[in-house]
Structures are given as structure tokens and as C-alpha cells.
Amino acid sequence: MNRHDETTAPDAQQITLRGPAELADALPYLMGFHPNDSVVMVALHGGRGRFGGRLRLGIPQEPEEWAPVADQLAQCLIAGSERHESRPDAIIVFLCQDPAEGESAPQTMERLRPLAQRLRTACGALDVPVLEALCISDGRYWSYCCPDDRCCPVEGNPLALPGTTVMAAAAAYAGVQVRGSLRDMEAGLTPWESPAAREQERALDSAGAVLVSRILDVDGRGEVARDTLALARDLMERLQGAPAAGPAGEDSRDDALITADEAAAVILGLQDRETRDRAAEWMEGGEGGSALRLWRALARRCVGPYVEHSAAPLTLAGWVSWSTGDEAGARVALGLALRADPAYTFAQLLHQACNQGLDPETLRRCLRGERTVRDGDGNSDGSSSTAPEQGGRRPERRTGPRPARAPAAPGPRRAPAGRGKRSMTHRPSPGAASRPGTAAGRGRARDARRRGHRGARSSD
């Protein structure tokens, strides 16, 4: 076993972790959830190995992708640490994945060994050693860095019982909570697959047929923005005034309070960048809480071929979570936003800032300032300055719609949520980004409306 000390500081309390067992136990507390199907990398600083920046990525399914992904992850973590604090002195790698069907946990560990080696090599090429690389699978852990079978047997070592370790005690004292698995957290943000999804898809089709031409028109775009923000505000007040429900029933209750047509109108309206930026100002206190519930509910309504549209509400959910101190929830929402649209700039920037441990107050001050300027102009609803003919917007801001994208030929559906996520800067191929074909006649017309609306979407 590799003996070394790692330290972290929940609520300013120093905790010393010794060896792979305590590192494996600490991972959920570092992330705020159990990161299943994930690569997690954590930077270490100083002689005592103080925990610094960390990042998480879904394990790519294809081994051919492991080498370029490993190179990018190493570069991203090291460069981000340098910008925020200092160059890491070492890195810890975690590979977390339960066995596939017909596979044992030791077989999972061996299958992922080449990925662990790629990550170690990528970090070493940048002169930052990997101090420990662990595989966690089916309640057991293995060290890829320890060749001694006496302490690291082939069958692995069992993880400590929950709540029995020094890290669990320190986290409980500091009020740090682990919110279940990544899969559980993602379930409240992923599109419906229930019978109600079909009704929601029809509502999105109908709303797109009406809104596309208005969004592409300069005057109509301002009207759509005002309508979108006013409706979103009404929905927030409706959610806030609803009877309380337990955590398990809150999502279902919120879904029942929003009609398919209302959800479709706000989802499509948020595809405009400036409208989305106005909505990002609802970020604090009770307003932030009701906004977060709305964005989560809208993300669940981006069903079928509209999954890419979920990037906007997911990014807003990630921003509000980060702004209100829920970094774990922010990372999950922003990761899903980038899975839906890897080129979504706002999600990329927030995801990077959150992973680097930056303070969201800088962005909060900027958004408060924007709101104050409009309030001073008598536009307290935060929406009227979106119209080009009214003077609440700064002159350097874009006032016209983005040029429409060229229509794409119908292609296959996107991979379902839960697959290994690609690089944040990965651009989808034309086939992957296009909408699936449908039945003749009505289906072709509906696909044409969808492609038209994609031209009205802002890419960031």
C-alpha cells in the first residue's frame, strides 16, 4: 500500500487521510454525491497534500477515446489550478463504475486499468505525478499504484461502512451532506420518458411553429422575450405558493403545476441568449429557490428531439445552485447541460469556474448591476429592455437575432443521457446534431419547424 497523507478542510477543520481506504471513503464528501460512472481528478497542493481543484467526467464508453480525454483532463485540471491558486504538486485519480451485466467488480477494475494508466501518463507528461489512482466498483476499491497483493488483493478491499470513518464524522460536524448517487441527482433533471412526454413534445412542436418566425424578427424577438420572462415569473410565483411537499414529491408536484403549453413557451423563449441572461438574475433568496424549481421542471420537459434545448434551463439551474452555495448540484446540472449541447458557452464557463472553486459573487454583482440599471430606467420587471427599440441595454450588446443556421439533414437521435460525456470543447457532428425524421406529411413539416427553430437558437 502506498502510504501518504492527504488533508482537506471541511468548514476550516483539518482532516488527515492516510492511504487508499480513507481516500476512497472521502470521495463522496469531496464531491457532495457518489460519482458513479465517472472519472474524478483532484489536485493536491503543498507537502501535506491539501485538496484543491477537482473535476469529474463521465467515463467514455469507447476505449479509443481514453487517450485524448486523459490528455485534456490533465491539462484542464493543471491549467485551472494554476489560474486559481498554484500548480498542483500531485493529483489523485478515481475511476468509479459498477460492473456491467455479466461482469464482476475485479473485471471492471481490469477493464479500466488502461484508462488509469493513460491518466497517469498524461499527468506525468505535464510534470505533475499521480500520487494515487483508485478504482471503486460494487462497494470495493483497488489501487492501480500498489503492486502488493498483501494489502491490495485481486478481489479488492471493501469500502468502510457509511458513517464510520473520520471523514464521515468531520463532514457531519461541518454540516456536509452526501446527496445520494450522481444517477439519483441526474434523474430529477433528465427529460421525461413517461406517456406525458408525447403531449409535451406536441406542445413544443406547436409553440415552435408560432415562435420561430417571431424570434427571427427583430421586433417580434423583443415581444417574445417579454412574454417569456413574464410567464416564467408567473410560474415561479405559482410554484412558490404551492403547498409544501417532501423532497421525494417536490418534482412531481412542480410538474403538475405547469402545463405543457406553458413549459413549451418558456423553453423556446429561453433559447434566446439575452432572455436567458435576464432570467439568470433570479439567483438569490426565495426568488432563487423558486427559479431553481422552475428550471429543473423545464429541463425535464425537453423531451424527445428537444433534448438539446435543455442546455438553457440546465445551465440556469446550475447557476442558481452555484450562486446559492450548492456546488454539487451545480456541477451535476452544468455537466448535463454540456452533455445536451457541448458547445454551450455559458455552461462551459460556469462549469469551469465552479470546478476551480471560484467565488460566484463576481457574477452576482454584475447581474445585480444590470438589474439596477433597468430598475433606474423604470423597467422593474427586468424584461422590457430586451426589445431593441427601448434603451435599457448597453450599446455593445447584440441587438439582432443570430443568423439562422443552415438546415441539417435528418440524422439519428442523440445518445440517451447517462452515456460517457465527451470533452467540453467537443463539437457534435452534423449527423448527431440534426433532428430525427418522422412519418411523411405531418412529420416532415414538424421537422422543418424544428430545424427552423434551431436557427433561432443562441449557441451560448
Q: What's 271's DSSP letter?
A: T
Residues of the chain with CATH 3.40.140.10: 5-161
**Confidence band of 250 (pLDDT split at 50, 70, 90):** confident
Q: What count of other Cβ atoms lies within 10 Å of the Cβ of residue 150?
A: 7
Give CB contacts under 8 A, 24+ apart, made by 426-435. 426/342, 427/342, 427/343, 428/342, 428/343, 433/308, 433/408, 434/408, 434/409, 434/410, 435/305, 435/408, 435/410, 435/411
Name the one residue in this structure whose C-alpha cell is 478491499: 157
* β-bridge mates for residue 92, sequence order: 42, 132
Instruction: Give residue 179's pLDDT.
Output: 72
As a whole number, mean pLDDT of residues 391-413 equals 35
As a whole number, mean pLDDT of residues 254-278 equals 94
Residue 155: enclosing H or E segment and its boundaries?
none
In this model, does residue 244 exceed pLDDT 70?
A: no
CATH H superfamily, domain 5-161: Cytidine Deaminase, domain 2 (3.40.140.10)
Higher local confidence (pLDDT), 419 or 349? 349
Instruction: Give residue 10's pLDDT.
Output: 43
Instruction: Give residue 128's pLDDT.
Output: 96
Instruction: Give residue 278's pLDDT.
Output: 95
pTM: 0.65
**Would you say 204 and 445 are in contact if contact means Cβ atoms under 8 Å apart?**
no
Higher local confidence (pLDDT), 151 or 420? 151
Higher local confidence (pLDDT), 183 or 457? 183
Q: Is 7 exposed, middle or buried (0-12, 13-18, 19+ CB in 10 A)?
A: middle
Half-sphere exposure of 293 (CA within 13 A, CB side): 28
pLDDT per residue as tens digits for the range 110-119: 999 999 999 9
**Distance between CA 348 and CA 63 in Å, rounded?**
25
In this model, does residue 385 exceed pLDDT 60?
A: no
Task: For strands 130-137 and 38-45, give the pairing.
Answer: unpaired
pLDDT per residue as tens digits for the range 178-236: 677 788 888 899 999 888 899 999 999 999 988 878 877 877 888 999 999 999 999 99
**Distance between CA 261 and CA 362 in Å, rounded?**
36
